[in-house]
Amino acid sequence: MKLLGSILYHIFVVLGWSFLISKVLSRLLGLKEKVGDNLGLALAYFLTIVLAVSVCWYIYNRKAPDSEVSPAQLTELQPEIDDLRQNLQKPAVILRSTLLTTDMPKGHVSCLGRVTWQKPGEEWPVDADGNRLEPLATLFVPDLPGVPAELSNVALVTIFATEEGWSENPEEKPQLGCVIRTYPSLEGLVPCDYVSSIWKTCLLTPEAVKHDMPRWPNCGGTDEEWDIIRSLEEKHKMDYDKNICDIVYESIHKADFPQSFSADDSLHAVYETHKIGGYPTYIQDTEAPRNYTYVMQIGYDPDAGLEFADCGCYYFYYNAEKNDWRVDFDCY
């Protein structure tokens, strides 16, 4: 019924304006006398006006970038927006990054640019040419609501990567040259201190958020949900980032982050930062490998010196049954 009402509304507007404009032009230009009793000519004249008005009305409705959905419209559409948010939102664990300026803390601390725990006898991994890989991250998987079920039996993940940030060697494609070590328990692990030669150490503080949202359709959500979003954006001049998602946090612009990610339980956001769980924030047309689940990402971080080409990001996928990883990468 809403769709039918919208169609009838646009038809009445176009016909109303066309009738008014045709009368004004007829009087100003003396077209009534010129057309006379020629019904075909009169019809052609009116249809030309209708076509011109239709084009102008379409452009006006497509344009209006400066116009925003009114508070009254937002109130009317709120139930629909709430349903979208409820269906789309996912819990996640945001990893706050802070540059280490003192000695490395003791104990189980997540960090970038450093690997600090391993099994006895494990060595610094190397690439096919015998060069040491760079320690990218030590991640103690926290017992927080946003941790994916696939990582429920994982206590620690350590990641080593190639110096340039990714590998183009086809033989290393499944993990892009990364070596990822997964530990189901912290028992029996021993401390180590593998420090990256190119990335600075940053401590990672986990914080749970409830309302991580997809950035693009290929990041999450069903086709039907995105059809509704596009319809709202087109019909009501809404904006997904502003009216549905609330806000998009760009990569590690730390001054723009709220004092606490989880301070406002009503906030729905795309957290484009280091995180476990939630949604990937794909920059390009990336997809999860078959039978592997997206579980975390590590991206551009100027404090750590993580560039990954042009503000790129690593995406990590895990198959818990095989205890096997896949890695993908994209950038701007």
**Residues 176-232 pLDDT 10s:** 889 999 999 999 999 999 999 999 999 999 988 889 999 989 899 999 999 999 999
pLDDT band, residue 162 (cuts 50/70/90): confident
Averaged over 71-92, what is the pLDDT? 89
Same domain, 105 and 55: no
Give the integer Cα–Cα distance in Å for 72 and 282.
Answer: 34
**pLDDT recorded at residue 63:** 45
Q: Is residue 52 part of a domain?
A: yes
* pLDDT confidence tier of residue 1, bands split at 50, 70 and 90: very low
Identity at 66, one-letter amino acid code: D
Q: Are residues 54 and 172 in the same domain?
A: no
Question: Do 136 and 271 reside in the same domain of the chain?
Answer: yes
Range 141-163 average pLDDT: 92
Q: Which of 48-62, 64-78, 83-97, 164-178 has the highest mean pLDDT?
A: 83-97
C-alpha separations of 10 from 57, 131, 172, 228 in Å: 9, 67, 56, 20
Q: Which residues form the domain of 6?
A: 2-62
Measure Cα distances from 26 to 18, 36, 37, 46, 314 in Å.
12, 11, 14, 10, 65
CA distance from start to end of the chain = 43
Determine phi and psi for 7, rounding to 5 degrees: -65, -45
67 CB-near residues (< 8 Å, 6+ apart): 237
Look at residue 202 and tell me if it is in a domain.
yes
User: Is 219 inside any structural domain?
Assistant: no
Provide the CATH number for the domain around residue 203.
2.30.320.10
Q: Name the domain boundary from 47, 62, 77.
A: 62
51 & 105 share domain? no
Q: What is the DSSP letter of 143?
A: -
How many structural domains are present in the chain? 2
For the cut 50, the answer to whether the pLDDT of residue 252 exceeds it is no
Q: Is residue 74 domain-resident?
A: no
- pLDDT reported for residue 197: 94
Q: What is the pLDDT of residue 17?
A: 73
User: Does some domain include residue 41?
Assistant: yes
Give me the pLDDT at residue 331, please. 84
pLDDT given for residue 285 in this prediction: 81
Tell whether 118 and 176 lie within a shared domain: yes
CA distance linking residue 203 with residue 105, whole number of Å: 9
pLDDT of residue 168 exceeding 70 = no
Q: What average pLDDT does range 15-23 have in this prediction?
A: 70
Is the pLDDT assigned to residue 38 strictly greater than 70?
Answer: no
Query: Which of 139, 273, 286, 287 minimizes the C-alpha distance to 212?
Result: 273
Range of weakest confidence among 80-84, 100-104, 253-257: 253-257
State residue 122 phi and psi, 5-degree precision. -70, 145
HEC assignment per residue over 167-230: CCCHHHHHHCCCEEEEECCCCCCEEEEEECCCCCCEEEEEEEEEEECCCCHHHCCCHHHHHHHH
> Both 119 and 57 in a single domain?
no
Backbone angles phi, psi at 194, to 5 degrees: -90, 110
Any domain includes 168: yes
Q: Is the pLDDT of residue 22 over 80?
A: no
Query: Are 49 and 161 in the same domain?
Result: no
Where does a domain end: 62, 82, 109?
A: 62
Q: Are 11 and 107 found together in one domain?
A: no
- Nearest Cα neighbor of 210 from 115, 110, 89, 97 is 89
> Within a domain: residue 268?
yes
> Using CA atoms, how far apart are residues 308 and 9, in angstroms rounded to an integer?
51
Angle, in degrees to the nearest 10, between helices 223-236 and 71-88: 170
Does residue 107 sit in the same domain as residue 25? no
pLDDT for the residue 65: 44
Q: Do 179 and 58 reside in the same domain of the chain?
A: no
In the block, tokens 């592997």 appear at 292
For residues 286 and 143, state if they share a domain: yes
CA angle 153, 97, 87 (to 5 degrees): 60
Domain membership flag for residue 193 = yes
Please indicate, yes or no, whether residues 203 and 292 belong to a single structural domain of this protein.
yes
Which pTM was predicted?
0.75
